[in-house]
Amino acid sequence: MRLIVKDLDLTSGDVLIAVLNYHDAKKLDVRPKDRIEISFKGKKLVAVADISGKEKPVSAGQIGLFEEILSRFGISDHGTGIVEVKAVGKPESVGYIREKLFGKRLNYKKLYAIINDIVENRLEESEITYFVSAGFAHGFTEEETFYLTKAMVETGHKLSFPKPVFDLHSIGGVPGNRTTMVVVPIVAAAGLTIPKTASRAITSPSGTSDTMEVLARVDLTAKEMERTVRKTKGCIVWGGAMDLAPADDKIIKVEHPLSIDAEGQMLASVMAKKASVGANYLLTEIPIGPTAKCRNKKEAGRLEKKFISLAKRLGIKNRVIITDGSQPVGRGIGPVLEARDVMWVLKNNERAPSDLRERSLLMAGILLEMAGRKNGHKIAIEMLKSGRAYEKMQEIIRYQGRQPEMAVGTFTHAVHADKNGKVKKIDNSRVAKLAKIAGAPDDKGAGVYLEKKVGAAVKKGEKLFTIYAENKVELDTAVEEAKRNNIYHI
């Protein structure tokens, strides 16, 4: 059926959507959510159909197209054209998702079909959600995880930098763990190439990209990233902006409201990004603790083996370190507060959190030794103490694009100790929840600043932590949460 294009001047976000008039839909035997193939000047796209029951917004003989389809066809704003439309069945990948829902193992062909359809926007968000849920419920075998990783790499853009290329990753789950933003400038200052792509927060009050965005642009294109790395040796950017393993970021969008991060998906997510930037050497951190993603050494050891095995199949030399995840790293929790901690470390400021500094130096030293440098830890300390790491960070910020200075939230509330004693425990999950209730990461200046860490002696009335928010409503909500669930155990 030939139909006249109508520009609806709307965006769908990801999924390709087209609107048919009720009469035309009936002739095509198309119902809402069915797929239709649209052809224009030799190009073909599969879109999800929506149905208009009246002459507005789409009349009989017309097809209303969202901006994503108009852009792919090269039809200018408010432009018109005539397209050929026919009904098609659901993508085969929907059937493969159904197989996974029933616990079946999927081969490379099936997983590639799912990932490719996610990238090409052929699947609705609900269908992607079913795939994520199936992976969470049934898990992925090592073979499936490798296939998933490979499919993510093959359906995205791949970068190439002069070898060797270094990278690092923490599996997360520990608030304030912004070691990446200290390690990258240290090792780049020492001459290593380290093109770091990072994710935004899924279940945390801030991801590395959310925190780096306080200082610099993170939504670089692949060309901008390559230029930054050529000039500075390093970068800290959001992988979702440059088509590197693009399915990963679409899956993360689905994971976010569900607050889940399935192990197989997490492994594939991490390693696909590393393979996409051409990494030869990788340092992976697995924090363990009662509220971290890995609760004990046994779980961490099992995950370590999986990381090393998957990396080997991808041609990456991966070293894994297991660290203390029993309490937050640093003192600031939330984008601006974390960025402030990072810059204090790089400036050798007396207010710099010692745990963030020492963990960053440990990781930077290991990466330098993986590059064949003797006394890597000593070199890392020199890069930091001399100011070369800070200068390198400023250079990276300049090439990525400096952001206007952002401040902590102006609405604050301090929580004080109700007795004398010693800090026995800080609950990671409650800290993260409190910072999110205060507005992080969407409100960059929101979060929690910890005055005391585990082992510190406290006196009654002494300040334990401060809540920051950008409006009074969120501050009041966070204060009520702090009263219900104390994050400190004294």
Residues with a known catalytic role: 261
User: Collapsing DSSP states into helix, strand and coil, what is residue 195?
Assistant: strand
Rounded distance, CA 480 to CA 490, Å? 20
Residue in the block written with tokens 């490379």: 108
Cis preceding linkage at 57, omega within 30: yes
Cα angle: 259, vertex 111, 86; to 5 degrees: 100
253-272 burial, b if ≥16 CB within 10 A, otherwise e? bbbeeeebbbbbbbbbbbbb
Over its C-alpha atoms, the chain yields an Rg (Å, rounded) of: 25
Rounded distance, CA 19 to CA 360, Å? 52
Q: Label residue 276 exposed, middle or buried (CB < 10 Å: 0-12, 13-18, 19+).
A: buried
What does DSSP say about strands 457-458 and 488-489: parallel, antiparallel, or unpaired? unpaired
End-to-end Cα, the chain, rounded Å: 72
